[in-house]
Amino acid sequence: MKLAPMFLVSTFIGILLFFNFPNNLDTKEINKDKWVKLFNGKDLKDWHVKIRGYPLDVNYKNTFRVTDGVIQVNYDQYDDFNESYGHIFYKNEFSNYKLRLQYRFTGKQLKDGAGWAKRNSGIMIHCQPPESMGLN
């Protein structure tokens, strides 16, 4: 029975090494000054818009727009929200990344908008590809 604690400690150390060691080998040296700019400050040409109930790249009621060099998500042209959740996807996939951004909330929540979505930054790091999303 004295071997059991040693076995548990060895197993625990092995698990730690297994999950940490490959990350250290695969990580390339990152130049902290080299950032990939995703937004050009002018338009959404490098982005895919997906709004529930509409095909990919149909930007229903101009929900996603660029104003004064800023991407805005705005439901001001909607009469009702009607669960018209919107997503915007960058054209390329990334791995081993860090994001740097600014966001702020303006305006009011639509009257029939979900309470959990109030003041939601909307940033999803890992998600399904937009091409795989159906209309609903």
Share of the chain above pLDDT 70, in %: 76
Q: Extract the tokens encoding 86.
A: 């919107």
Find the mean pLDDT for residues 32-53. 91
- pTM value is 0.70
Q: Is the pLDDT confidence value at 131 over 90?
A: yes
